[in-house]
Structure 1
Protein backbone atom coordinates (compact mmCIF):
# COMPACT_ATOMS: atom_id res chain seq x y z
CA UNK A 1 0.00 0.00 0.00
CA UNK A 2 1.18 3.55 -0.59
CA UNK A 3 0.77 6.89 1.11
CA UNK A 4 1.46 9.73 -1.31
CA UNK A 5 1.98 13.24 0.01
CA UNK A 6 1.52 16.08 -2.45
CA UNK A 7 3.14 19.43 -1.66
CA UNK A 8 2.14 22.43 -3.73
CA UNK A 9 5.06 24.09 -5.47
CA UNK A 10 3.13 26.93 -7.09
CA UNK A 11 0.80 29.68 -5.85
CA UNK A 12 -2.60 28.37 -4.75
CA UNK A 13 -4.26 30.24 -7.64
CA UNK A 14 -2.37 28.03 -10.11
CA UNK A 15 -3.37 24.93 -8.15
CA UNK A 16 -7.03 26.03 -8.02
CA UNK A 17 -7.08 26.50 -11.80
CA UNK A 18 -6.32 22.77 -12.16
CA UNK A 19 -8.80 21.49 -9.55
CA UNK A 20 -11.57 20.51 -12.03
CA UNK A 21 -9.13 18.43 -14.12
CA UNK A 22 -7.54 16.97 -10.97
CA UNK A 23 -10.96 15.88 -9.68
CA UNK A 24 -11.73 14.16 -13.00
CA UNK A 25 -8.37 12.37 -12.73
CA UNK A 26 -9.27 11.30 -9.18
CA UNK A 27 -12.69 10.02 -10.32
CA UNK A 28 -11.05 7.90 -13.02
CA UNK A 29 -8.43 6.54 -10.61
CA UNK A 30 -11.15 5.56 -8.12
CA UNK A 31 -13.22 3.93 -10.87
CA UNK A 32 -10.13 1.94 -11.93
CA UNK A 33 -9.50 0.80 -8.33
CA UNK A 34 -6.21 2.69 -8.11
CA UNK A 35 -7.04 4.89 -5.10
CA UNK A 36 -8.55 4.15 -1.69
CA UNK A 37 -8.70 7.67 -0.22
CA UNK A 38 -7.65 11.23 -0.97
CA UNK A 39 -8.00 14.72 0.38
CA UNK A 40 -6.44 18.09 1.05
CA UNK A 41 -3.90 18.57 3.83
CA UNK A 42 -4.74 20.94 6.68
CA UNK A 43 -3.51 23.59 6.26
CA UNK A 44 -4.12 23.40 2.52
CA UNK A 45 -0.56 23.25 1.22
CA UNK A 46 -0.99 19.94 -0.61
CA UNK A 47 -2.86 16.68 -0.38
CA UNK A 48 -2.73 13.00 0.54
CA UNK A 49 -3.47 9.95 -1.61
CA UNK A 50 -3.80 6.38 -0.33
CA UNK A 51 -3.26 3.75 -3.02
CA UNK A 52 -3.48 -0.05 -2.81
CA UNK A 53 -0.47 -2.26 -3.47
CA UNK A 54 0.57 -2.21 -7.14
CA UNK A 55 3.78 -2.18 -9.12
CA UNK A 56 5.69 0.99 -8.29
CA UNK A 57 6.00 1.79 -12.00
CA UNK A 58 2.20 1.73 -12.28
CA UNK A 59 1.87 4.15 -9.37
CA UNK A 60 4.51 6.44 -10.88
CA UNK A 61 2.62 6.42 -14.19
CA UNK A 62 -0.64 7.21 -12.40
CA UNK A 63 0.92 10.15 -10.57
CA UNK A 64 2.59 11.46 -13.73
CA UNK A 65 -0.86 11.64 -15.34
CA UNK A 66 -2.26 13.87 -12.58
CA UNK A 67 -3.01 17.36 -13.92
CA UNK A 68 -1.13 18.75 -10.90
CA UNK A 69 2.00 16.91 -12.09
CA UNK A 70 1.47 17.87 -15.71
CA UNK A 71 0.92 21.48 -14.66
CA UNK A 72 4.05 21.49 -12.50
CA UNK A 73 2.20 22.66 -9.37
CA UNK A 74 2.94 19.76 -6.98
CA UNK A 75 5.74 17.53 -5.74
CA UNK A 76 4.97 13.91 -4.80
CA UNK A 77 6.56 11.96 -1.96
CA UNK A 78 5.71 8.24 -1.89
CA UNK A 79 5.91 5.92 1.11
CA UNK A 80 5.25 2.22 0.57
CA UNK A 81 4.19 0.13 3.54
CA UNK A 82 2.79 -3.30 4.33
CA UNK A 83 -0.75 -3.00 5.72
CA UNK A 84 -0.62 -6.04 8.02
CA UNK A 85 -3.44 -4.71 10.21
CA UNK A 86 -6.45 -2.79 8.92
CA UNK A 87 -9.96 -1.79 9.85
CA UNK A 88 -12.52 -4.37 8.76
CA UNK A 89 -13.50 -2.15 5.83
CA UNK A 90 -9.99 -2.62 4.42
CA UNK A 91 -9.64 -6.35 5.05
CA UNK A 92 -9.15 -7.00 1.32
CA UNK A 93 -6.03 -4.82 1.40
CA UNK A 94 -4.26 -6.59 4.27
CA UNK A 95 -0.86 -8.05 3.50
CA UNK A 96 0.97 -10.93 5.08
CA UNK A 97 3.52 -10.05 7.72
CA UNK A 98 6.95 -11.15 6.49
CA UNK A 99 8.76 -11.47 9.83
Structure 2
Protein backbone atom coordinates (compact mmCIF):
# COMPACT_ATOMS: atom_id res chain seq x y z
CA UNK A 1 0.00 0.00 0.00
CA UNK A 2 1.20 3.52 -0.78
CA UNK A 3 0.48 7.10 0.14
CA UNK A 4 0.98 9.29 -2.93
CA UNK A 5 1.78 12.87 -1.97
CA UNK A 6 1.31 15.30 -4.87
CA UNK A 7 2.81 18.77 -4.63
CA UNK A 8 1.90 21.31 -7.26
CA UNK A 9 4.80 22.99 -9.00
CA UNK A 10 2.76 25.52 -10.96
CA UNK A 11 -0.01 28.08 -10.46
CA UNK A 12 -3.47 26.79 -9.50
CA UNK A 13 -4.98 28.12 -12.73
CA UNK A 14 -2.75 25.67 -14.64
CA UNK A 15 -3.80 22.85 -12.32
CA UNK A 16 -7.48 23.77 -12.73
CA UNK A 17 -7.09 23.65 -16.52
CA UNK A 18 -6.33 19.90 -16.27
CA UNK A 19 -8.52 19.13 -13.24
CA UNK A 20 -11.31 17.37 -15.17
CA UNK A 21 -8.78 15.13 -16.94
CA UNK A 22 -7.14 14.37 -13.58
CA UNK A 23 -10.56 13.44 -12.12
CA UNK A 24 -11.18 11.09 -15.07
CA UNK A 25 -7.80 9.47 -14.36
CA UNK A 26 -8.74 9.08 -10.68
CA UNK A 27 -12.14 7.62 -11.57
CA UNK A 28 -10.50 5.02 -13.81
CA UNK A 29 -8.08 4.02 -11.05
CA UNK A 30 -10.93 3.70 -8.53
CA UNK A 31 -12.82 1.47 -10.98
CA UNK A 32 -9.71 -0.70 -11.37
CA UNK A 33 -9.44 -0.96 -7.57
CA UNK A 34 -6.04 0.77 -7.43
CA UNK A 35 -7.06 3.82 -5.36
CA UNK A 36 -8.92 3.85 -2.03
CA UNK A 37 -9.12 7.57 -1.17
CA UNK A 38 -7.94 10.90 -2.53
CA UNK A 39 -8.33 14.59 -1.91
CA UNK A 40 -6.85 18.07 -1.86
CA UNK A 41 -4.38 19.31 0.71
CA UNK A 42 -5.34 22.35 2.77
CA UNK A 43 -3.98 24.82 1.90
CA UNK A 44 -4.34 23.74 -1.73
CA UNK A 45 -0.72 22.94 -2.52
CA UNK A 46 -1.38 19.47 -3.91
CA UNK A 47 -3.20 16.30 -2.97
CA UNK A 48 -3.02 12.91 -1.32
CA UNK A 49 -3.97 9.54 -2.82
CA UNK A 50 -4.17 6.29 -0.86
CA UNK A 51 -3.32 3.40 -3.19
CA UNK A 52 -3.68 -0.32 -2.64
CA UNK A 53 -1.18 -1.10 -5.41
CA UNK A 54 1.53 -3.29 -3.85
CA UNK A 55 4.34 -2.87 -6.37
CA UNK A 56 6.13 0.50 -6.60
CA UNK A 57 7.10 0.11 -10.26
CA UNK A 58 3.48 -0.73 -11.14
CA UNK A 59 2.31 2.37 -9.27
CA UNK A 60 4.88 4.53 -11.06
CA UNK A 61 3.48 3.30 -14.41
CA UNK A 62 -0.01 4.27 -13.28
CA UNK A 63 1.17 7.74 -12.21
CA UNK A 64 2.74 8.24 -15.65
CA UNK A 65 -0.84 8.35 -17.01
CA UNK A 66 -1.98 11.16 -14.67
CA UNK A 67 -2.56 14.38 -16.64
CA UNK A 68 -0.95 16.30 -13.75
CA UNK A 69 2.20 14.25 -14.35
CA UNK A 70 2.03 14.32 -18.15
CA UNK A 71 1.76 18.12 -18.09
CA UNK A 72 4.44 18.50 -15.39
CA UNK A 73 2.07 20.15 -12.90
CA UNK A 74 3.00 18.14 -9.80
CA UNK A 75 5.78 16.25 -8.09
CA UNK A 76 4.94 12.84 -6.64
CA UNK A 77 6.32 11.36 -3.43
CA UNK A 78 5.50 7.68 -2.82
CA UNK A 79 5.50 6.34 0.73
CA UNK A 80 5.03 2.60 1.10
CA UNK A 81 3.51 1.26 4.29
CA UNK A 82 1.95 -1.88 5.72
CA UNK A 83 -1.25 -1.23 7.69
CA UNK A 84 -1.11 -3.02 11.03
CA UNK A 85 -4.12 -1.44 12.74
CA UNK A 86 -7.35 0.06 11.36
CA UNK A 87 -10.90 0.95 12.29
CA UNK A 88 -13.51 -1.76 11.64
CA UNK A 89 -14.48 -0.27 8.26
CA UNK A 90 -10.91 -0.66 6.97
CA UNK A 91 -10.12 -4.13 8.35
CA UNK A 92 -9.84 -5.38 4.75
CA UNK A 93 -6.51 -3.55 4.53
CA UNK A 94 -4.89 -5.82 7.11
CA UNK A 95 -3.24 -8.89 5.63
For Structure 1 versus Structure 2, the TM-score category normalised by the shorter chain is over 0.9
Match of 1:49 in 2: 49
Hey, what's the Cα distance between the residues in 2 that align with 1:53 and 1:11?
30
State the number of aligned residues: 95
SS at match of 1:68: helix
SS at match of 2:13: helix
Hey, what's the Cα distance between the residues in 1 that align with 2:48 and 2:8?
11
Hey, what's the Cα distance between the residues in 1 that align with 2:48 and 2:3?
7
Quote how far apart the aligned CAs of 1:42 are: 0.1
Query: Given the two structures, how large is their TM-score scaled by the length of structure 2?
Result: 0.95
In the alignment, structure 1 segments of 5+ residues that lack a partner are: none
Match of 1:6 in 2: 6
Moved over 3 A (4+): none
In the alignment, structure 2 segments of 5+ residues that lack a partner are: none
Query: Given the two structures, how large is their TM-score scaled by the length of structure 1?
Result: 0.92
Match of 2:65 in 1: 65
Q: Deviations over 1:39-89 (max 9, x none)?
A: 000000100000114211111111111000001000000110110111212
Determine which structure has more spread, i.e. the larger CA radius of gyration.
1
Hey, what's the Cα distance between the residues in 2 that align with 1:16 and 1:24?
13
